[in-house]
Amino acid sequence: MDLPSTELPDAPSAGAAEPTPTKASALPFSEIAPPPPAPAEADPEPKPLPRPFAERSTGHAADRIFRLLTGACACSVAGLILVAIFYMVHGSIPAFRNHGLGAILSPIWDPTNQKYGALTFLYGTAYTSLIGMAIALPLGVLTAVALVEILPRKLSKAISLAVELLAAIPSVLLGLWGIFTLVPLVRAFEVYIYKSPLGLRKFPLFSGAPMGVGFLAAGVLLAIMALPFILSVTREVLLQVPTAQREAAYALGATRWQSISKFILPYSWKGIFGAGLLGLARVLGETMAVTMVIGNTPQIKASLFASGYTLASVIANEFTEAPSDLAISALISLGLILLVVSILLNGAARLMLLYLGNSSGAPRGSK
Amino acid sequence: MLACKDLKIEFDRKPVLKGVSLTFPPRKISAIIGPSGCGKSTLLRAFNRMHDLTRGAKVTGSVTLNDREIYADDEDPVLIRRRIGMVFQKPNPFPTLSIFENAIAGLRLSGVRDKNALKEAAEQALTDAALWDEVKDRLKSNPTTLSGGQQQRLCIARALAVDPEVLLMDEPCSALDPIATAKIEELMFRLRERLTLVIVTHNMQQAARASDRTAFLWMGELVEADDTEVIFTSPKKSMTEDYITGRFG
Amino acid sequence: MIRGHQLRKIRGRCMEAVCLLAALVAVLPLFAFLWHLAAKGASSLSPALFTHLPMPPGEAGGGMKNAILGSLLVVGTATVAGIPLGIGAAIFMTEFARPTVASVLRFACDVLSGIPSIVMGLLAYEIVVVPLHHFSAFSGSVALAFIMLPVVVITTQEMLHLVPHSLREAGHALGIPTWRIAASITLRAAAPGVLTGMILAVSRIAGETAPMLFTAFGNPFLSLDPKAPISTLPHMIFNYAISPYDDWHRLAWGGALILVLGILGATLLSRFILWWHQRSLNS
């Protein structure tokens, strides 16, 4: 730590016009707030500073400038949300003026003929996300239970590392893997169902030709992408359950599974729900991997085998080839839908995790 | 009768209890006293096999309930814990369950489903814990609305509902005010008629007034164990006398 | 009652087995991915990827030189803008802002980090591409900077938060002005974690494709002009992957291997930095 020699208490520091008494070291001790008292239980969160030191600032010109500069950085980052909303709305206005919000709900998308119905994309986004979450949420929660409650620590760490690394893989590479590895697997599975003597292919869920690409493949990829988020948040939530609760359950003679299922999981359900929302928010806007395996057909079909199209995919595929400015504006309006939904979902999930981290209702620090 | 013989406990190779042998006579209150860190809670937790849940804990020696070794390979710790209950230092009712459900939580875990049996058991347990009159009109409310002393009595009720033979109490009053403490001590006297109670306390006055037998632990070793009256009026070891009179600890 | 207990034990064990099975399934995708990546990418990994430009389909011996350099340029530019801005914002949030303001800002960053990258691409399109009337590497950098900012802010803020109170107090007690404390003492103490956060943010945007589709747009030729369209590695991988040519598929896997080695390398590097710093603190 290099302390400039001119900053010693008795020497005026460079650039200061104020006399010595205003320097931080000369503040009366009563002004310096004591550190907050230690909480009764071990608190994994770092303690918050009592009051930001800079509020009692020295009045240094350099301090003010620095504060302004960093404040400008902070404003610009936070303002980005407003900028995003503004520009997306602005870009969507031509589309809204042309065909209004209602037309978005039409299932016909044909820009060359002025048709801008987005229902198929809304359906596709919702359906693939549903499949993804239906796979990832139970898988993530059960895995988190295994890691926190059952497996030894070293193995737990290794497994959670393996799943976290999944989150580092770019979407396009998962899509690449999806095209050449997953889709053939899904296709084999679909063929199996198709040929099943139980006549499963008569069910709407399994109807249609088994091509591999489609909702199911996209759903599986989304599950792979949502899993790390769900796992890490659920793990944290489970680790937050106070030891006292676990001990109380065991002391009553609960088996390990009873204590997990009847006490630990119910205690953590709010956090798990928040994890689910976060995972959902993540997969709704997923573009590349989905685009590569969903078949890119705007249609509404119930079958897992069918091809579909999502909001993000249609933007990705058609933006650069849009036949008119109006079509571009329509695509931007689809982006606006994605923006609004992601803000709402993320906002709700974060608020939930912030204020209702566990059933005791005790507020946790921001995380 | 609960007893231990030559009980040694290590955490991560560090010895915490160095060979303790004690017997706890049935239907009496036995207190374990000693300075902080002497191993009292560790000793207590050995009796309901709570150390099974701690990584790095090693328990050697013998602990018997009615002459049956509770650490035998074919003994299920879950069943042991139903016969030897525990109340903790800080009240820990389950916040996701109502007062009623907290009381019968142990019964539910054992598979009891009959609604009438559960209601009766809850009322009995809450009465035994001297809490029934205070909560009978709000059995469905959340236990976090109760005061500290009431929560602790709820935890006692919860432990009593499974009808244990022994109740282990780990400094049950240290988080409570004197009036709540008095209520719990009164409760202990009544429970003594049907249960064996073992209480760990750092409060010597409590041990002196509330127990029949007292054991004094120091640095993981048993110094002296005798009738409470003897320990507090004419202890045999000088270390005991020093501790009692407050010369250390 | 004992038989009921046996049943409960068995049920409990079964459910625990299900959890363990879940953990096994959760680990599979990573290994499946890495396995196929290694198998298919290893054969196409060669220096030619780095030295040659793309060839038209059917002609052998193409490379991804323009995309690799393009990625370096676009990501580098975004980093140069995003990191200082992000660190500045984080310093403001931890050292100067009132707690309420800080939590609002943090909330905003959390929400920002959840916005789909394609929307950020659209944003950069509206802000840069439309006024300039053409696609450019610069607009790609802008999109990536938007994506990178919240990540940098959040990780830096958390690392700064971990710096003990006493360090700042010591600085004040010595009469050091607040700004100096923040910049020289606090930030330096948090440096390893902040560095890690930066590495992770960079590796995250290095793999982004969707925003590039209509900002950087792609370019089959080698171009390092920020005002012109440029090719980036993930974008090229995407184009090759969805093409019908086997040659290009092989190249796509080769490019994928390069990208993954870079990203995994960065992730492991960041963990190494943290571990090494922890070790030097303890010794």
Chain C residues interacting with chain B (CB cutoff of 8 angstroms) = 1, 4-5, 8-9
| Mutate which: B74, B75, B76, vs C, most C CBs within 10 A | B76
Predicted local distance difference test score (pLDDT) of residue B43 = 93
Q: Does position A27 have pLDDT exceeding 60, yes or no?
A: no
Average per-residue pLDDT for chain B: 89
Chain B hits for C13, CB-CB cut-off 8 Å, are none
> Do A248 and B90 count as a contact with CB atoms less than 8 A apart?
no
Chain A hits for B172, CB-CB cut-off 8 Å, are none
Contacts 24+ apart (CB under 8 A), A360-366: A360/A267, A360/B95, A360/B144, A361/B95, A361/B144, A364/A45, A364/A240, A365/A45, A365/A46, A365/A48, A366/C103, A366/C106, A366/C107
- pLDDT-derived band of residue B22, with 50, 70 and 90 as boundaries? very high
Look at the alpha carbons of C202, C196, C188, C152 in this order and tell me if their dihedral is positive or negative: positive
Q: Closest-CA residue in chain B for C9?
A: B78
Stretch C1-21: mean pLDDT: 85
The shortest C-alpha distance from B114 to chain C (Å) reads: 13
Bigger pLDDT: C171 vs A268:
A268
Chain B hits for A245, CB-CB cut-off 8 Å, are 92, 94
Q: What ranges do the domains of chain A cover?
A: 119-355
Question: At residue A130, what is the residue type?
Answer: L
Q: Does B197 touch chain A (CB under 8 A)?
A: no
For B:140-169, CB contacts with A below 8 A are: 144, 155, 158-159, 162
Q: Closest-CA residue in chain B for C4?
A: B111
Predicted local distance difference test score (pLDDT) of residue B198 = 94
CATH topology of domain A119-355: MetI-like fold (1.10.3720)
Predicted local distance difference test score (pLDDT) of residue A10 = 33
Stretch B163-169: mean pLDDT: 91
| Mutate which: A252, A259, A356, vs B, most B CBs within 10 A | A252
pTM: 0.79
| Mutate which: C119, C167, C260, vs A, most A CBs within 10 A | C119
> Do B110 and C1 count as a contact with CB atoms less than 8 A apart?
yes
> Do B79 and C4 count as a contact with CB atoms less than 8 A apart?
no
> Do A245 and B92 count as a contact with CB atoms less than 8 A apart?
yes
Q: Does position A315 have pLDDT exceeding 90, yes or no?
A: yes
Q: Does position A33 have pLDDT exceeding 70, yes or no?
A: no
pLDDT tens string C100-142: 999 999 999 999 999 999 999 999 999 999 998 889 999 999 9
Q: Does B117 touch chain C (CB under 8 A)?
A: no
Q: Does A250 touch chain B (CB under 8 A)?
A: yes
Q: Does position A43 have pLDDT exceeding 70, yes or no?
A: no
Of B76, B78, B111, the CB nearest to C4: B111
Q: Report phi then psi at A50, rounded to 5.
A: -60, -55
Q: Closest-CA residue in chain C for A279?
A: C114
Contacts 24+ apart (CB under 8 A), A297-303: A298/A107, A298/A109, A298/A120, A298/A121, A298/A124, A299/A120, A300/A107, A300/A119, A300/A120, A300/A123, A301/A208, A301/A215, A302/A204, A302/A205, A302/A207, A303/A204, A303/A205, A303/A206, A303/A207, A303/A208, A303/A214, A303/A215
Chain A hits for B90, CB-CB cut-off 8 Å, are 244
> Do C36 and A177 count as a contact with CB atoms less than 8 A apart?
yes
Q: Does position C52 have pLDDT exceeding 90, yes or no?
A: no
> Do C1 and B111 count as a contact with CB atoms less than 8 A apart?
yes
Predicted local distance difference test score (pLDDT) of residue C279 = 82
Average per-residue pLDDT for chain A: 80
Strand B14-24 and strand B2-11: the pairing is: antiparallel
The shortest C-alpha distance from C168 to chain A (Å) reads: 9
CATH class of C49-282: mainly alpha
Q: Which helix (H) or strand (E) holds B208?
A: helix B204-210
Cβ atoms A277, A251 nearer than 8 A: no
Predicted local distance difference test score (pLDDT) of residue A38 = 44
Bigger pLDDT: A353 vs A320:
A320
Bigger pLDDT: A136 vs C168:
A136
Helices (H), C163-186: 165-173, 178-180
Q: Token pair 């800002």 is at which residue?
A: C105
> Do A250 and B50 count as a contact with CB atoms less than 8 A apart?
yes
> Do C1 and B78 count as a contact with CB atoms less than 8 A apart?
no
> Do A255 and C213 count as a contact with CB atoms less than 8 A apart?
no
Q: Does position A281 have pLDDT exceeding 60, yes or no?
A: yes
Q: Does A42 touch chain B (CB under 8 A)?
A: no
- pLDDT-derived band of residue A365, with 50, 70 and 90 as boundaries? very low
Q: Does C29 touch chain A (CB under 8 A)?
A: yes
pLDDT tens string A160-189: 988 988 888 999 999 999 999 999 999 998
The shortest C-alpha distance from B132 to chain C (Å) reads: 28
Predicted local distance difference test score (pLDDT) of residue A90 = 93
The shortest C-alpha distance from C51 to chain A (Å) reads: 22
> Do B88 and A248 count as a contact with CB atoms less than 8 A apart?
yes
Predicted local distance difference test score (pLDDT) of residue C231 = 92
CB pairs under 8 A between A and B: 67
> Do C89 and A76 count as a contact with CB atoms less than 8 A apart?
yes
pLDDT tens string B25-84: 999 999 999 888 888 989 999 998 888 887 788 999 999 998 889 998 888 888 888 889
Helix axes A325-355, C117-124, angle to 10 degrees: 130
| Mutate which: B78, B81, B107, B162, vs C, most C CBs within 10 A | B78
For C:175-214, CB contacts with A below 8 A are: 175-185, 188, 203-204, 206-210, 213-214
pLDDT tens string C56-89: 877 777 888 889 999 999 999 999 999 999 999 9
The DSSP result for B57-86, as a single string, is EEEEEEEEETTEETTSTT--HHHHHHHEEE
Chain C hits for B108, CB-CB cut-off 8 Å, are none
How many percent of chain A have pLDDT more than 90?
38
Could you give the CA distance from residue A211 to residue A297 in angstroms, rounded to a whole number? Answer: 13
> Do C9 and B110 count as a contact with CB atoms less than 8 A apart?
no
Stretch A96-102: mean pLDDT: 81
